[in-house]
Amino acid sequence: MTDPLILPFNGKTPKIHDSAFIAPGCKIIGDVEIGPESSIWYNCVIRADVNFIKIGARTNIQDGTTVHCDSETPVTPNGHPTIIGDDVLVGHMVMLHGATLEDRAFVGLSTTVMDGCVVEGDAMLAAGAMLTPGKRIPSGQLWAGSPAKYMRDLSQAAITGMHLSVAHYAENAKQHKAAVDAAIG
């Protein structure tokens, strides 16, 4: 079994809360902070070598996702860190680059969220979508397509379903953490 690789870079060491689940095969590099009860699933790469990445509490980053950030430029003197809030759902095989996902945001399978984008709380980016630089998805909206655009408002049932999924993933992560700890010894 391959342990996760937690790698300091340029004097910055990832800070990972003890209650977080970091699956085998993950690579977490540089100026990264991961909050309590969050889960980074199998074979994710979180690389903060040119800016910082912050992941809040009870957030799940699902299998095969890549999270990076954007360095400073003459146009963006602070670059674009990647900031992911609390209770966020990030689907499998997502590409996040210099974006902000506010508390309770949902980003579906195989999506791309580019520099300067914001997905507000209780908003959803549908599977397979590409959110192009600088776009913002307002709370309560579903966006889809490539490039992504507004599709419709989310129902209260859909928003409640997203909240229930956060609780499911937090519990599932505890079970995976126990299984991995038992297998590694």
pTM, 2 dp: 0.96
At 143 the three-state DSSP class reads strand
pLDDT score at 1: 52
Calculate the alpha carbon distances from 7 to 71, 74, 138, 171 in Å.
Answer: 19, 29, 35, 27
Q: Has residue 67 got a pLDDT over 70?
A: yes
Mean pLDDT of the chain: 96
Pairwise CA distance, residues 160 & 155, whole Å: 9
Give the amino acid at 140: G
Pairwise CA distance, residues 45 & 25, whole Å: 9
E-strand ranges in 35-77 read: 39-40, 45-55, 60-61, 66-68
Pairwise CA distance, residues 120 & 100, whole Å: 8
Pairwise CA distance, residues 71 & 48, whole Å: 10
- Condensed to tens digits (0 to 9), the pLDDT of residues 158-173 reads 999 999 999 999 999 9
Q: Has residue 2 got a pLDDT over 70?
A: no
We find that the CATH architecture of domain 5-178 is 3 Solenoid (2.160)
- Condensed to tens digits (0 to 9), the pLDDT of residues 105-150 reads 999 999 999 999 999 999 999 999 999 999 999 999 999 999 999 9
